[in-house]
Amino acid sequence: MKYDFDSYFYYEYSKNVPFTVRIRVTMTEPVDGQALKLSAQKAFARFPYFSRKTRLDESGGYVLEPNDKPISVLPEAEKMPSLGSAEVNEHLFSITYEDYNIYFNFSHSICDATGAMFWIKATLWQYLTDTTGETLDSTGIRIPGSPMEEGETALPDPNALPKDKPMSMYNGGNSYMPLGDYLKYYLNPFAKDAVYFPMEMDLQSMLKYAKENDGSPNSILAAFMFKAVCRLWDSNKKVTQISAAIAKNYRNDVGCPNTYRNLVRLLHAKYTKDMKDWPVEKLSTLTRGSMYMQMEPEIGCLEYRNYRSRIEEIDAKPTLKGKCKYATSTSVFRKGIRDSFNISYVGKVDWGDMEKYIAAVHTISDGHLMLEVNVVGDKLFVNFQQVNRKREYLDAFLNVLKEENIKVTLGEMKEKRLPKISLQKKSV
């Protein structure tokens, strides 16, 4: 591997594929922008592996270099500043804020939401320590000045991973996607039509429901979504198969449980329309069974080895154009299994003493019919994301929740506003 592992998604980046994420943290009190700016600098200094910028070398490869400039902390504005640009001091991370909300914006190439949470928790801990005067417990938080933890920057060695053949692999093929919805979005993923609907549910009620229906939050939400889209696609003869893509953090599979790196793969659960009247319990059992069969560590090891082999092929291309062409033509996200909808649950984050100051957390990401899930205390937050402003999918989902007696508080529709990334296209 010639370049930094964190840089290879940049060859897939284009005006059609953002590969950026925003995590919106809603506080219980209005955000003090000046205090946040000072606190953010202290916290960001703890993460040198995030404090980097890109440079294009003479071989057309993206090099990640240290960046000692301060992280950008700006009020939300009509124009979202591009990551990597001079406006955000060339960083691939930035913070914006408005009213009660703090937005943590970052490049998905460097980390996923799990990795970003290290930075987010440290920033919030520092901000709340500075503004409340309270001595907050720092257990489990990588606070400023704390030493680097074991395995924090670990990267798996593909040659050291087990090479046992997985017992089973998903071979369900592609499922129906509403391509008409996607077309306009893919022409401009930064258009204002890409929106999300934030939701709040009671965690204990949801867990109780999941237990009674042989499920987990992932499998239950997948079952709800299947029922919802079935009602909209029932008369569409093109729809023969529907499937869910469910994100899985596979750090443990490859022996790097503590790393910040972007190590996420997808599990798939396949349904057919004749299951539309199945009870949620039966759908959840099917979903969990599909997930379980794909959770073998051997599959994670295989996927990682395949990705590293792909990196070697990218390195072998002598120009940026060649690297980008190969990366996009072999991209899992562009050319992989096509699913009907997506579920992503970071898992329960321990917010400690900060919990009482946080009203909500919602992850904003790329994708259509994409449900991002977070937990704070006794609340479960679901971000229902679409590439258009039509409410038909949302309303169908809410109707399923109502039928299952799941209480939900729906927030107002908001634009995603995912940031672009500013990358060099020519060597200097």
Instruction: Check pLDDT > 80 for residue 334.
Output: no
pLDDT average, residue stretch 6-26: 88
Q: Which helix (H) or strand (E) holds 283?
A: helix 280-293
CA-wise closest residue to 345 among 301, 303, 291: 291
Q: How confident is the model at residue 229 (pLDDT cuts 50, 70, 90)?
A: very high
Q: Is the pTM value of this prediction over 0.85?
A: yes
Model pLDDT, residue 189: 66
For 104, the 3-state DSSP assignment is strand
User: Please, what are the domains in the chain?
Assistant: 5-132 (3.30.559.10), 167-351+367-414 (3.30.559.10)
Model pLDDT, residue 174: 87
Instruction: Check pLDDT > 60 for residue 428.
Output: no
CA 70 – CA 72 distance, rounded (Å): 6
The amino acid at 311: I
Model pLDDT, residue 4: 96
Q: 379 forms bridges with which residues in the sheet?
A: 202, 376
Q: How confident is the model at residue 180 (pLDDT cuts 50, 70, 90)?
A: confident
Model pLDDT, residue 145: 93
For the stretch 111-126, pLDDT in tens is: 999 999 999 999 999 9
The residue ranking higher by pLDDT, 332 or 185, is 332
Model pLDDT, residue 114: 94
pLDDT average, residue stretch 213-231: 96
Residue 297: φ, ψ to 5°: -60, -30
Cβ(349)–Cβ(117) under 8 Å? yes
Share of the chain above pLDDT 70, in %: 96
The amino acid at 213: N
11-15, 24-28, 347-351: range with lowest mean pLDDT: 11-15
Average pLDDT value for the chain: 93
CA 129 – CA 123 distance, rounded (Å): 10
Model pLDDT, residue 382: 98
- Report the 10 Å Cβ neighbour count for 335: 10
Residue 352 carries which DSSP code? G
For the stretch 242-283, pLDDT in tens is: 999 999 999 999 999 999 999 999 999 999 999 999 999 999
Beta-carbon contacts of residue 234 (< 8 Å; ≥ 6 apart): 273, 276
Residue 23: φ, ψ to 5°: -115, 115
Instruction: Check pLDDT > 90 for residue 211.
Output: yes
Share of the chain above pLDDT 90, in %: 85
Q: How confident is the model at residue 336 (pLDDT cuts 50, 70, 90)?
A: confident
Model pLDDT, residue 168: 86
Model pLDDT, residue 425: 76
Strands 379-386 and 195-202, bridge-based pairing = antiparallel
- Within 13 A of 138's CA, how many CA atoms are on the CB side? 15
For the stretch 20-44, pLDDT in tens is: 999 999 999 999 999 999 999 999 9
Tokens of 320: 């940026």
For the stretch 44-94, pLDDT in tens is: 999 999 999 999 999 999 999 999 999 999 999 999 999 999 999 999 999
Model pLDDT, residue 366: 87
Model pLDDT, residue 15: 65
Model pLDDT, residue 183: 72
- Within 13 A of 106's CA, how many CA atoms are on the CB side? 25
pLDDT average, residue stretch 219-231: 97
Model pLDDT, residue 187: 67
pLDDT average, residue stretch 291-303: 95
**With b meaning 16 or more CB within 10 Å and e meaning fewer, what string describes 215-241?**
bbbbbbbbbbbbbbbbeebeeeeebee
Model pLDDT, residue 424: 83
